[in-house]
Amino acid sequence: MLNKKKDALNSAKDKYEMGVIKLNETSTMVAELEATLKVSSIEVEKIKKMADAQAQTVGAEKEIVDAEADKANTESAKCAVIAQSVAAEMASVQADLDLALPAVERAEKALAGLNVKDF
């Protein structure tokens, strides 16, 4: 019975010692991971700052582009009005030309009928 108790205690002692060893190993691993995490967090912070700076630059450039797009839209509207005016004027001129062409043709026929010797 004493041997059984002794074996049980030795077994428990071995288990506790293995547990302590595992805890120490885990503690070492956690310390290494914490060190890696600190380095990674510093790198992430640098990258975040760079990304924020780029985001600000992109935002500023977007505002400039939006302003230029507004100017272009305004100019496009002005050009559309001018194009409409030119089209109307062109139609008017074409109508006048269509009315004048028969008169020009009659004048050319009349000129063709004249003889230089008559003058």
For residue 119, the model assigns a pLDDT of 61
Of residues 22 and 7, more confidence is placed in 22
Using pLDDT thresholds of 50, 70 and 90, give the confidence band for residue 118: low
Alpha-carbon gap, residue 105 to 94, rounded angstroms: 16
Does pTM surpass 0.75?
no
- Asked if residue 114 has pLDDT above 80, the reply is no
Across the range 101-114, mean pLDDT stands at 85
Q: Model confidence over 22-57: pLDDT tens digits?
A: 999 999 999 999 999 999 999 999 999 999 999 999
- Asked if residue 75 has pLDDT above 90, the reply is yes
CA quadruple 42, 45, 51, 53: dihedral positive or negative?
negative
Q: How far is CA 78 from the centre of its chain?
A: 28
Task: Tell me what the pLDDT averaged over the chain comes to.
Answer: 92
For residue 37, the model assigns a pLDDT of 95
For the chain, give percent helix, strand, coil, nearest 5: 95, 0, 5
Alpha-carbon gap, residue 104 to 96, rounded angstroms: 12
